[in-house]
């Protein structure tokens, strides 16, 4: 139980820091340089985590994970990062962008979860989806995106 809720707490804390950092990145200089710097830090943290987990940094293992899922994940991460940076630079609000994006992502993932992973959607989940969708609609229709 601690692993589940501790992991969720880590996601929440990291997401808050993520959005505050993204919104705060100055407009001067290249956005891609900012991403490259951030990914350099992420790589250092990942390598440290690999060392703590296995007691070594295995370059062969790192290079062997070049399968399509890892490449797709890299593309997705890059798309999320540059998309959020550009959206904040276009004037999006830090208080509403995460709600809108996560609401739309959830609407996309529910049918995909059912189709590809045979996940079940309960009536309670559908009610939650409807509430979130209505919130996204209100935020977008009132110009608070």
Q: Over 90: is that where the pLDDT of 129 sits?
A: no
User: How far, in Å, CA of 71 to CA of 134, rounded?
Assistant: 34
Please report the pLDDT score of residue 128 as a whole number.
87
Please report the pLDDT score of residue 145 as a whole number.
66
Residues 6+ apart with CB under 8 A from 99: 135, 136, 139
The residue ranking higher by pLDDT, 121 or 65, is 121
User: How far, in Å, CA of 48 to CA of 55, rounded?
Assistant: 10
Q: Over the stretch 67-115, which tens digit does the pLDDT of each residue have?
A: 888 889 999 999 999 999 999 999 999 988 998 899 889 888 988 999 9
Please report the pLDDT score of residue 28 as a whole number.
76
Can you give the residue ranges of every domain in the chain? 30-91, 93-145
Mean pLDDT (whole number) for 41-47: 95
Count, residues in the chain: 145
Give the Å distances, CA to CA, from 129 to 88, 89, 113, 136: 25, 29, 14, 10
Q: How confident is the model at residue 37 (pLDDT cuts 50, 70, 90)?
A: very high
């Amino acid at each position: 139980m601690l692993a589940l809720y501790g992991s969720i707490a880590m996601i929440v804390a990291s997401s808050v820091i993520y959005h505050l950092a993204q919104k705060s990145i100055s407009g001067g200089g290249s956005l891609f340089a900012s991403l490259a710097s951030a990914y350099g830090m992420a790589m250092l943290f990942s390598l440290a985590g690999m060392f703590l987990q296995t007691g070594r940094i295995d370059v062969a293992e790192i290079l062997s994970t070049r399968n399509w899922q890892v490449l797709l994940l890299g593309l997705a991460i890059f798309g999320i990062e540059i998309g959020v940076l550009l959206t904040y630079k276009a004037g999006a609000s830090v208080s509403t962008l995460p709600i809108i994006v996560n609401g739309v992502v959830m609407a996309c993932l529910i049918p995909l979860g059912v189709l590809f992973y045979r996940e079940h959607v309960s009536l309670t989940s559908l009610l939650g989806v409807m509430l979130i969708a209505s919130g996204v609609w209100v935020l977008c229709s009132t110009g608070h995106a």
